[in-house]
Amino acid sequence: MDPRHLDHLSESQKEALKNYLYDFLTDARKASIDRVLSERTRKLCVVLEDVYQGHNASAVMRSADAFGIQDLHTIESRNDYSIKKDIAMGTDKWITRTSYSNTKDCLKKLKGQGYLIVGTTPHPPTLSLPDFKMTQKTALIFGTELTGLSSEALDQCDVRLSIPMRGFAESFNISVSAALCMYTLSQLVRETPDWQLSPKDRRDLEILWAMRSASSGAPLTEAWIAKNVKKK
Predicted confidence (pLDDT) per residue in 169-210, tens digit: 888 999 999 999 999 999 999 999 999 999 999 999 999 999
Predicted confidence (pLDDT) per residue in 133-175, tens digit: 999 999 999 999 888 999 999 999 999 999 999 999 888 999 9
DSSP string computed for 48-85: EES---HHHHHHHHHHHHHTTB-EEEEE-SSS-----H
Predicted confidence (pLDDT) per residue in 5-57, tens digit: 688 899 999 999 999 999 999 999 999 999 999 999 999 999 999 998 889 99
Of 140, 139, 134, which Cα lies nearest the Cα of 189? 134
Q: Is residue 97 scored above 70 in pLDDT?
A: yes
Task: Provide the pLDDT confidence category of residue 1 given band limits of 50, 70 and 90.
Answer: low
- Write down all domains in the chain, each with its CATH number in brackets: 1-40+199-232 (no CATH), 42-189 (3.40.1280.10)
pLDDT on residue 199: 95
pLDDT on residue 128: 96
Specify the pTM. 0.93
Query: Who contacts 210 (Cβ-Cβ below 8 Å, separation ≥6)?
Result: 18, 21, 22, 24, 25, 33, 217
